[in-house]
Amino acid sequence: MKFPLSRLASCCLYSTSLFFLLSFVCTVNSLVKLPPNVTVQALLVFGDSIVDAGNNNNIQTLVKCNFPPYGKDFEGGNPTGRFCNGKIPSDMIAKELGIKDTIPAYLDPTVQPQDLVTGVTFASGGCGFDPVTPKSVSVLSLSDQLEYFKEYIGKLKTIIGEEKTLFTLRNSLFLVVAGSDDIANTYFTLRARQLQYDVPAYTDLMSNSAASFVQELYELGARRIGVLSAPPIGCVPAQRTLAGGADRECAGNFNEAAKLFNSKLAKMLDSISLPDGKFVYIDIYNPLLDIIQNPPKHGFQVADKGCCGTGVLEVAILCNQYTPVTCAKVSDHIFWDSYHPTERAYEALVSAVLGKVVDKFF
């Protein structure tokens, strides 16, 4: 699946000095303590809506959010294609690592050469490890994202040369965020795989796909690869509504599937042994579950509803300029829409997780 990139391609062919480009690499002070003499050259991100900064704006799909009220608390208050009221985890991680303030979408036609040097996201809202997941909603699959990454490598060689490109890839952080849509949508809601697989077999499919993707990234030059666990997907407002019964409790079968997948993902990553490779399992299930189960402990008041509309079902095109933002104070809520956390909830999650795992990449 390929889409026109004429404006992006043209901007990458500008005659720009190497000094000018590389001056952007270390413009943000690192907040996470890195090992001595270590810097992270770029952040390169793959996956789903949690880290899609606007790639879906530029493809033919209904899974979009490039309209109000999305982005109401982002820089300038404008929607960018981030499935949030503000910044998303990839933005926050880039800033914590001292790279830059935000990670743009690769398909954003305004992306500049210096953006490529310091990292972009290839993620596409609605993607998953199961190839059926992105196909069912016409978004970029992980295979599509990998093809764009190959294209990105070619552009980077044009900008900074082959040797520095290899150095950048080896000294960048790669993040993969997927699995939620496989479990919540493809398996349980659409039931597109239930005749073929029970939950153990389906989570095998997911973990095997994750393993293949990680190894493909490695073959293309990646050396520091982190894969986020599936979250407690049964506790997001939409799944509480659809599968949590009259009291809208967390959907236990969704969460059990997520935990089973996570155990397999962790073992798989631990078993990969490739020269100079660091393959890190990043647990977000337990930290996010703690935030959801103990809102006051983390400074929140509402855990079971989003801010958009009723807060129990609205997401993507159902959360639009005609849907009122019903919460008086967004920062009191863990969820922005019925599926995605608020910027403040992401901040709490990144703060709880990043410092504990960063040393594992070095």
Q: Cβ(56)–Cβ(95) under 8 Å?
A: no
Please tell me which residue in 49, 172, 209, 338 is annotated as part of the active site. 49
Residue 255 has pLDDT above 80, yes or no: yes
Averaged pLDDT, 205-222: 98
Which residue in this structure is represented by tokens 């500049």?
112
pLDDT interval class at 307 (50, 70, 90):
very high
Does pLDDT of 9 surpass 80? no
pLDDT at 23: 37
Residue 128 structure tokens: 């998953």
What mean pLDDT comes out for the span 64-69?
Answer: 97
| Averaged pLDDT of the chain | 92
User: Which two three-digit tokens encode residue 275?
Assistant: 């020269």
Residue 194 has pLDDT above 80, yes or no: yes
Q: Report the pLDDT averaged over residues 41-70.
A: 98
Contacts of 4 (CB under 8 A, 6+ apart): none
Q: Residue 43: pLDDT above 90?
A: yes
Reported as a pLDDT band with limits 50, 70 and 90, residue 77 is very high
Give the confidence band of 36 by pLDDT, cuts at 50, 70, 90: confident
Looking at residue 31, its pLDDT comes to 73
Sign of CA dihedral 71, 72, 75, 78: positive
Q: Give the pLDDT of residue 4.
A: 42
Q: Which tens digits make up the pLDDT trace of 324-350?
A: 999 999 999 999 999 999 999 999 999
Q: CA 234, CA 252: separation in Å to the nearest integer?
A: 6
Burial class (CB in 10 A: 0-12, 13-18, 19+), 20: exposed
Instruction: State yes or no: is 49 an active-site residue.
Output: yes
- Percent over 70 (pLDDT), the chain: 92
Can you tell me the distance from the alpha carbon of 58 to that of 52, in angstroms, rounded to the nearest whole number? 12
Considering the candidates 172, 304, 337, 338, report the single residue annotated as catalytic: 337
Q: Which of 240, 264, 253, 262 is nearest to 339 (CA)?
A: 240
Q: Which bin fits 214, alpha (ψ -120 to 50), beta or left (φ > 0)? A: alpha
The 3 state secondary structure assigned to the chain is CCCCCHHHHHHHCCCCCHHHHHCCCCCCCCCCCCCCCCCCCCEEEEECHHHCCCHHHHCCCCCCCCCCCCCCCCHHHCCCCCCCCCCCHHHHHHHHCCCCCCCCECCCCCCCHHHHHHCCECCCCCCCCCCHHHHHCCCCCHHHHHHHHHHHHHHHHHHHCHHHHHHHHHCCEEEEECCHHHHHHHHHHCCCCCCCCCHHHHHHHHHHHHHHHHHHHHHCCCCEEEEECCCCHHHCHHHHHHHCCCCCCCCHHHHHHHHHHHHHHHHHHHHCCCCCCEEEEECCHHHHHHHHHCHHHHCCCECCCCCECCCCCCCHHHCCCCCCECCCCHHHECECCCCCECHHHHHHHHHHHHHHHHHHHC
Q: Are 283 and 293 in contact (CB under 8 A)?
A: no
85: pLDDT strictly greater than 50? yes
> Which pLDDT value is given to residue 278?
97
Give the mean model confidence (pLDDT) for residues 252-277: 97
pTM to 2 decimal places: 0.91
Q: Once rounded to an integer, what is the mean pLDDT over residues 32-48?
A: 90
The average pLDDT across 50-67 equals 98
Judge whether 52 counts as a catalytic residue.
no
**What does the block give as tokens for 61?**
């799909």
Is pLDDT of 16 > 90? no
Q: Known catalytic residue: 290?
A: no
Per-residue pLDDT at 29:
56
Say whether pLDDT at 359 is over 60: yes
The pairing of beta strand 43-47 with beta strand 224-228: unpaired
> b/e for 167-177, b at 16 or more Cβ within 10 A?
ebbeebbbbbb
The model's pLDDT over 141-186, given as tens digits with 9 standing for 90+, comes to 999 999 999 999 999 999 999 999 999 999 999 999 999 999 999 9
